[in-house]
Amino acid sequence: MSLPIVITPIFIGLFVIVQVPLTLIVGMRRVQTGIRFFGGDDDVLLRRMRAHGNYTETVPIALLAMGCAEVLGMPSAALWVGGGFLAAGRIAHATEILRSGWGPGRSGGMVLTFLAMLEFGAWSLWRSLFQI
């Protein structure tokens, strides 16, 4: 029997809303610079593209794993912690890459993101293989 999903949709809503400004700042910079494809030689555009790209590369799979973990009965507290790690990680990463390109926020943000992904993925794998 699967449990109702109540926590993951909160994080999905949050992350979808954050995706909008990350996408818009790339488009706005393209309009400002006239660079239609790729990044040209514009460092600001390249940083914006990477902040958006990295977000898009990590958030969907983390949310899928979170939803799976929730369906498989992960405790609510663990879901909130993992979701908080993911949110804090994505904020730290995007802020640092947009501001300077490299620094502790970028690497720390990835560590938090990976911790959330590992938490959700390990729970899902464990429950799927050994507990159900």
Contact 69, 123 (CB under 8 A): yes
pLDDT of 81-128, one tens digit each? 999 999 999 999 999 988 887 888 889 999 999 999 999 999 999 998
Report which secondary-structure segment, H or E, holds 93.
helix 76-99
3-state secondary structure of 7: coil
Q: Domain 8-131 falls in which CATH fold?
A: Four Helix Bundle (Hemerythrin (Met), subunit A) (1.20.120)
How many angstroms separate the CA atoms of 74 and 67, rounded?
A: 10
Could you state, in order of their start, the residue ranges of all structural domains in the chain?
8-131
Binned at pLDDT 50, 70 and 90, residue 3 comes out as low
- Answer whether 0.85 is exceeded by the pTM: yes
Q: What is the mean pLDDT of residues 4-33?
A: 93
